[in-house]
Structure 1
Amino acid sequence: MTLKEKWLIIGVSGVTCGGKTTLSTELNKMIPSSIMISQDDYFLDVDDSRHTWIPELNHINFDITSSLDMDKMYNDIMNLIKTKENVYMNKDVCDTKTNSLSTELTNVTELTKLLCKKVQEVNVRILILEGFCIFNHSPVADLCCLKYYFTLTRDECYKRRIKRVYEPPDCPGYFEKCVWPEYLNLLDEVKTTVKDVEYFDGTLPSPIEKVLLDIYSLVENWHK
């Protein structure tokens, strides 16, 4: 590689079943040069002593940050982006985001083509980080130039959650005891401690166009 490769890191987080994986996967497919890292790949093994056990449910609490090896996730990210040849987008560049494309450009296919061309031209790699609590681990959160967070109401979240099959599966009472209250705790922490997060209602249509415009703006400004 003769030119330094620049990395734009995007974080997509939020409530279970809210749409974060759908958006992240969609972005990953639309931008062929992008890489996606899922927080789900960093859950501790079920027999790991670091897990928090809920005696009354006879079940592990998987909805807290300590159920994951976040240090490993962070180290894997840094091993990917932080080499002597590579640099990643810092806060000064992140703060320059302005939508410079015409507001009349609403065709997602056209927008994607323009973005992919610009990404190649400027030699930027897109790294997408996806998971329910990536912003609750400050080393990972601090790497993200763009931060998106999906929310749902309790009823909508429960309606979607019961249609999913997990391994190990949710036990009776797990949603009420762990899933929902832990989500509220994580959300409150993000709102209190993490800046520049954009919140999306998970019941609304995909915000893919908005995200693509944000990415384009950052890439273009970095080029300048």
Structure 2
Amino acid sequence: METSRSPQIVGIGGVSNGGKTTLCLSLVEKLRQAGVNVEMLQQDEFFKEVEDIPWHKSGVFRICDDKVAIDMAKMMEAVRSRVAKMQKTNSAQSAPVLLIEGFLIFNYECLNAMFSRRYFFTLPKDIAWERRLSREYRTPEPAAMFPKHVWPMYLIHYDELKKANVDMVELNGTDGPNTILERVFREVLPSVLR
């Protein structure tokens, strides 16, 4: 009789517009093609209601790139629920994989402790800014949001991880998406095969 295996939980974190979602979506597809049961959770699904997110001290925008903007209790509940569901799903070839993507996923100890692998995107400020300008957001952002909040918070959260010696593989977001995908796929697949 086949026994269930706990999912491998892989975190994809890092800078805003670094390539996290692109990598996750491509990795889901590639792992499924390899016969792996894989699911994905995005931290963006757990933002608090806009009116519950505090205003930046400038009064011009809300501080969405900070821990106070995320409903971590709700996210942890979703992670535990997904893990329990995936443990019931067996595959003859591999352990299930849960990909969790978000800009602050490694900054929460309770969530960070669950990861078997951690990948963290970095980008130079000018490229992050350029990419941010090319994206369309549901709620348009004031121009001051990136230089006054998004980038400084990224640096603060990144520094927290470095000081805590979080074991993570850094990915250069300027590398091509296929190069990054192939690297991560080659590292993740062997760890989940039976």
Instruction: Provide TM-score, normalisation by structure 1.
Output: 0.77
Match of 1:105 in 2: none
Alignment-derived partner of residue 130 in structure 1? 101
Does the CA-based 8 Å contact 2:14-2:20 persist in structure 1?
yes
Is the 1:15–1:152 contact (alpha carbons within 8 Å) kept by the matching residues of 2?
yes
Higher Cα Rg: structure 1 or 2?
1
User: How many angstroms apart in 2 are the aligned matches of 1:173 and 1:219?
Assistant: 43
Match of 1:45 among 18, 42, 49: 49
Partner of 1:158: 129
Is 1:219 matched with 2:192? yes
Structure 1, residues 23-69: CA drift from partner, whole Å, max 9, x if none?
01101112222100000000011112xx2212424211100011010
Aligned to 2:8: 8
Deviation at 1:123, TM superposition (A): 4.2
Task: Give, as a single letter, the amino acid of the residue that structure 1 aligns with 2:21.
Answer: T
Q: Does 1:208 align with 2:181?
A: yes
Task: Quote the Cα distance in structure 1 between the aligned partners of 2:146 and 2:59.
Answer: 11
What is the aligned partner in structure 1 of residue 116 from structure 2? Answer: 145
Could you list the runs of 5+ residues in structure 2 that have no partner in the other structure?
Answer: none
Residues 4-25 of structure 1: CA distance to partner in whole angstroms, max 9, x if unpaired? 1430110000001111110011
- Structure 1 residue 34 and structure 2 residue 38: aligned? yes
Higher mean displacement: 120-129 or 133-142: 120-129
State how far apart, in whole Å, the 1-side matches of 2:2 and 2:49 are: 41
One-letter amino acid of the structure 2 residue matched with residue 44 of structure 1: K
Q: RMSD of the alignment, in Å?
A: 2.1
Unaligned runs of 5+ in 1: 88-118
AA at the equivalent of 1:15 = V
Aligned residue identity for 2:107: N
Contact 2:6 2:96 in 1 (8 A): yes
Among 122, 125, 140, the alignment partner of 1:169 is 140
Give how far 1:122 is off: 4.0
Per-residue deviation at 1:191? Answer: 1.4
**Aligned 1:48-63 pairs, distance under 5 A:** 48=52, 51-63=53-65
Farther-moved stretch of structure 1 (130-139 vs 26-35): 26-35
SS of 2:155 mapped into structure 1: helix
CA contact (8 A) 1:24 1:128 kept: yes
Alpha-carbon shift at residue 152 of structure 1 (Å): 0.6
Question: What is the CA-CA distance between 1:208 and the residue it aligns to?
Answer: 1.4
| Paired residues for 1:57-72 under 5 Å | 57-72=59-74
Whole-Å Cα distance in 2 between the matches of residues 155 and 168 of structure 1? 22
1:187 to 158, 166, 169: 158
Percent identity of equivalent pairs: 30
Distance in 1 separating the partners of 2:64 and 2:101: 16
Q: Say how many residue pairs are matched.
A: 187
- Residues 90-130 of structure 1: per-residue CA shift (max 9 Å, x gap): xxxxxxxxxxxxxxxxxxxxxxxxxxxxx943441110000
